[in-house]
Structures are given as structure tokens and as C-alpha cells.
């Protein structure tokens, strides 16, 4: 195996591990904290025109105050669908419409709900760690196969093994840091 092949494997491993961290950040954005954030409603889908559409494709989401979200619905006929989607999202939010403007007050989180959200965040982080470890395992299996087939030396295998393990450790650390930040946000009153 030439060095360029290893660089390609390293680049692929990095891209896939980065993807796991990106998914984690998207999942975290859907977890509610005590403050209003437009990303809270981005994953909510609305039944519009016979199909499911993301909230940001049926209206403009704004944060006029720290504990309030508004959705300016573009089509007056979709206001009820937007309200229903928010109610059924499982976020614990109660929207109220005023013409084509849907107001969504963000209530204070109870201590019980904060603990529950922290557990969900922990589960998301563990899923991301598992994804990173699976990428590592796949790359390690590839290295073993190439060593067995005589494409790389045993020394090269150990060197590449260490590089992939270092990448894995770095991405697991990123995940742990993201979890710590999210838990701090959740627990902030």
C-alpha cells in the first residue's frame, strides 16, 4: 500500500468521523433548553400540500425575545398545520396563532425535564461515539486485510493503527466536549 492510499483512508476516516459529530450537533439542536432558538423548530415537519415539509419551508422562524419563538406562516391555510406540528413534536410547546403569525412561548424547564433532556443528550453522544468507533473498526479491518495480503508491512500497519487511534480519540473528545456544553445549556436556569 502506497502512502497515498493511506492518506486516502485517513481522509475518508476523518470525513466519516466528522459526519458523526455533525449528526450529533443536529440532534442537539433539536433538544430544548430554557432559551428560544430557531434550530428548535427546524426538525419539526408540517403536513403541507399533501406532504411533510420542514418548518422553515412553510414560514420564517424568528426569536423576538429570549423566551419566545414566532413563525410567520407564508400561506394562511397552513397556520393550523403549523400549530398541530408543534403540538405533536414532543417538545412540550404550546403555540398560539394571531392571523398568520404563530407565537410559541418557551416555558421554564422543570428540574425533572432537565434531567430527562440530559439523559437524551447523553444517549445522542453515545450513539455518536459508537459511530466513530465503527469507523475506526472498519479502517482497522482494512489495515489488517492489507497486511495479510502483503500490501503493507507490519511496521506500517502499526504506524497507521496509531494514527487512526489518535483520530478516534480526538473525535471522541469532541463529542464529550459537545455533550458537556449541551448539558450546561440544559441545566442553565
Stretch 169-184: mean pLDDT: 94
Vertex 80: Cα angle to 79 and 84 (nearest 5): 120
Indicate if 179 and 116 belong to the same structural domain. Answer: yes
Inside any domain, residue 89:
yes
Confidence of residue 120 (pLDDT cuts 50, 70, 90): confident
Alpha-carbon distance of 54 to 40, in angstroms, equals: 12
Q: Is the pLDDT of residue 9 over 90?
A: no
Q: Is the pLDDT of residue 27 over 80?
A: yes
Tell me what pLDDT residue 4 has: 47
Domain holding 17, by residue range, is 3-29+110-187
Stretch 133-158: mean pLDDT: 88
Tell me what pLDDT residue 90 has: 73
Stretch 59-65: mean pLDDT: 89
**Domain of residue 77, CATH code:** 3.30.1360.40
Inside any domain, residue 34:
no
Q: Is the pLDDT of residue 170 over 90?
A: yes
Indicate if 25 and 116 belong to the same structural domain. Answer: yes
Indicate if 167 and 132 belong to the same structural domain. Answer: yes
Indicate if 115 and 57 belong to the same structural domain. Answer: no
**Domain of residue 8, CATH code:** 1.10.132.20
Tell me what pLDDT residue 128 has: 95
Last residue of a domain, one of 72, 105, 138: 105
Last residue of a domain, one of 54, 86, 105: 105
Q: Is the pLDDT of residue 34 over 90?
A: no
Tell me what pLDDT residue 111 has: 85
In the chain, how many domains are there?
Answer: 2
Q: Is the pTM of this model over 0.85?
A: no
Lowest mean pLDDT, pick from 73-77, 94-98, 110-114: 110-114
Indicate if 91 and 130 belong to the same structural domain. Answer: no
Q: Is the pLDDT of residue 32 over 70?
A: no
Last residue of a domain, one of 51, 85, 105: 105
Amino acid at each position: 500500500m502506497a502512502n497515498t492510499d493511506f492518506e486516502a483512508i485517513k481522509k475518508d476516516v476523518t470525513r466519516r468521523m466528522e459526519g458523526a459529530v455533525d449528526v450529533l450537533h443536529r440532534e442537539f439542536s433539536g433538544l430544548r433548553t430554557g432559551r428560544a432558538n430557531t434550530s428548535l423548530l427546524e426538525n419539526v415537519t408540517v403536513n403541507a400540500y399533501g406532504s411533510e415539509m420542514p418548518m422553515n419551508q412553510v414560514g420564517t422562524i424568528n426569536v423576538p425575545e429570549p423566551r419566545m419563538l414566532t413563525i410567520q406562516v407564508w400561506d394562511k391555510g397552513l397556520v393550523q398545520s403549523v400549530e398541530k406540528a408543534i403540538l405533536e413534536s414532543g417538545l412540550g410547546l404550546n403555540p398560539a396563532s394571531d392571523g398568520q403569525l404563530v407565537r410559541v412561548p418557551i416555558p421554564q424547564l422543570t428540574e425533572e425535564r432537565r434531567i430527562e433532556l440530559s439523559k437524551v443528550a447523553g444517549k445522542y453522544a453515545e450513539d455518536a461515539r459508537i459511530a466513530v468507533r465503527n469507523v475506526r473498526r472498519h479502517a482497522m479491518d482494512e489495515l489488517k486485510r492489507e497486511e495479510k495480503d502483503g500490501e503493507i508491512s507490519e511496521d506500517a500497519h502499526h504506524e497507521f493503527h496509531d494514527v487512526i487511534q489518535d483520530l478516534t480519540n480526538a473525535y471522541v473528545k469532541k463529542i464529550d466536549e459537545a455533550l458537556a456544553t449541551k448539558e450546561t445549556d440544559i441545566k442553565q436556569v
